[in-house]
């Protein structure tokens, strides 16, 4: 099997300081496009040296090494915007990016169709608190005083909203296959909990928007 994947890093010309670590394939290791602003400023000011650290047979191995190397050097010494691996783990947005996100969220909620869609999603029997009455309701005893004064314990909201209780729960069962040989016939939620996977990346895999997630893929056989 050809070793398609690799982990690479970029260093400065003047002092050979490593300032970026990434995972890629093909010519990504020496590409200068689609880089963040911090990377661009550093490369322009100090020069750029591109090196491949190691080649791997499987993408999952390259992702694991990418995460490990970024953790070793520390994000404060690198231009990486995330902790590596798939998804956006550890991503920190700039103030300018946060402002753009805030404005886009406001525009979304100004749209009448979007507001109605979000309301319908958790209305009636779709709401996890639908039909819950008495001291099992989360608002019981919360009348301007602490529930501790009443001796009442509020139900654990995270437990009520997890698994099948979540309004966005996906009941479909998939046959998942890992590059290491493991196979699991589970729902998306069950696989995520069992192997501590990224929920958003796993959703892309199940919806056909991604082919793999940390070595896991959907077996179509």
Token look-up 């103030």 returns: 95
* pLDDT for 103: 86
H-assigned helices in 163-221: 188-195, 199-206
If pLDDT is split at 50, 70 and 90, which confidence band does 202 have? confident
Give the Cα-Cα-Cα angle 143, 148, 149 (nearest 5 degrees).
65
What digits encode the pLDDT tens for the residues 2-57? 678 999 999 999 889 999 999 999 999 999 988 999 999 999 999 999 999 999 88
Query: What mean pLDDT is reported for the chain?
Result: 80
In contact, 76 and 83? CB cutoff 8 Å: no
Q: Give the DSSP H or E segment for 10.
A: strand 5-11
- Domain layout of the chain by residue ranges: 5-77, 165-218
In contact, 179 and 60? CB cutoff 8 Å: yes
Strands (E), 12-68: 18-25, 49-56
What digits encode the pLDDT tens for the residues 126-164? 776 677 665 555 554 444 444 554 454 555 555 655 666
């Amino acid at each position: 099997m050809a070793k398609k994947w690799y982990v690479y890093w970029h260093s400065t010309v003047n002092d050979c300081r490593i300032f970026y670590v990434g995972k890629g394939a093909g010519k990504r290791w020496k590409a200068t496009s689609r880089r963040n602003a911090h990377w661009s400023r550093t490369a322009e000011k100090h020069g750029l040296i591109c090196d491949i650290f190691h080649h791997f047979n499987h993408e999952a191995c390259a992702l694991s090494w990418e995460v490990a190397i970024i953790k070793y050097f520390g994000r404060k010494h690198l231009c990486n915007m995330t902790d590596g691996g798939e998804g956006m783990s550890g991503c920190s947005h700039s103030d300018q990016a946060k402002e753009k996100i805030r404005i886009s969220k406001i525009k979304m909620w100004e749209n009448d169709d979007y507001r109605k869609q979000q309301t319908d999603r958790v209305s009636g029997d779709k709401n996890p608190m639908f039909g819950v009455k008495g001291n099992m309701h989360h608002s019981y005893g919360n009348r301007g005083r602490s529930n501790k004064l009443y001796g009442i314990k509020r139900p654990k909201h995270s437990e009520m909203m997890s698994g099948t209780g979540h309004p966005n729960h996906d009941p479909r069962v998939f046959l998942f296959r890992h590059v290491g040989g493991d196979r699991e016939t589970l729902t998306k939620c069950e696989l995520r909990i069992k192997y501590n996977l990224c929920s958003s990346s796993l959703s892309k895999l199940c919806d056909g928007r991604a082919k793999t997630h940390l070595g896991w893929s959907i077996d179509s056989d």
